[in-house]
Amino acid sequence: RTIGDRIGEAKASGNLGNTLKILGQFDEAVVCCQRHLDISQEQGDKVGEARALYNIGNVYHAKGKHLSWNMAQDPGYLSQEVKETLQKASEYYERNLSLVKELGDRAAQGRAYGNLGNTQYLLGNFSEAIAFHKERLAIAKEFGDKAAERRAYSNLGNAHIFLGRFDISAEYYKKTLQLSRQLKDQAVEAQACYSLGNTYTLLQDYERAIEYHLKHLVIAQELGDR
C-alpha cells in the first residue's frame, strides 16, 4: 500500500484470506478475498480476478462444510444457513469457471468443476453433481492426473448411491479401487473397498460385500488404523 503497488496489495489480501480460511475465520477471510477481487477487477487483472473468485468460493465451501459437520446431516438435509453458504460457494465457482473458460485455462476449469460437483452434492443436487464430476473426470484424463481422476470416480460413485443407482456406483468404485492401487495409496484403497462392501450390501450381493469388507479389514490392520 505504501508504495502504491495495487497488484501486490491484491495478492497479499488473497493470501491473508486463504490463511484466515484455514484458521476458520471465514467472515474475515471473505473480506480479504473480496479486496483481492475488487483490486483485480479495478486493475483489469483477469487471472487475479479468477483466482479471487475461486478463493471466495473456497471460503464459503469450507464454511458450509464446517457448519454442516457441527450438525452431522446427510447431503441434501441442511439448515437454511448451510444451504445459503454452499449456494454462495457454488455461485463464486460458477463465476470462476466462466472466467477461466474465457482465459482458456483447462487445469483451472478442472478444479472449478470438481468443487462445483462437491458443493452440489452437499446441497443434495445429485444429478447436477454428476454432470460436474463427469466434466472434472474428462479434464483429469486430459492431463493424465491420476489422483484427480481417482477422486472424480469416487465422487461419481457417491452421487449415484443417493440416486439409488447402486450398480453404476459399484462400477465407479471399482475404477477408484483400480487407480488407488496404481497410485499405491493404501488408505484410499481401503476406503474404496469399504464403499464397494456397502454398495454390494445395498445390491443384496452379500458374498461380494463380505469379500470387499474383508479386504478393507486387512488393509486397516496393515495400516494399524484402529
What pLDDT does 6 receive? 95
What pLDDT does 198 receive? 98
Evaluate whether 1-143 and 145-225 have a shared fold: yes
Architecture of domain 1-143: Alpha Horseshoe (1.25)
10-residue stretch averages of pLDDT, the chain, 226 residues long? 95 97 97 98 96 98 90 75 96 98 97 98 96 98 96 98 97 97 96 98 98 98 95
What pLDDT does 24 receive? 95
Q: How many helices (H) and strands (E) does the chain have?
A: 10, 0
- Provide the CATH number for the domain formed by 145-225 in this structure: 1.25.40.10
What pLDDT does 211 receive? 98
Enumerate the domain spans of the chain. 1-143, 145-225
Question: Cell digits for 131?
Answer: 454432470
pLDDT digits (tens, 9 = 90+) for 114-139: 999 999 999 999 999 999 999 999 99
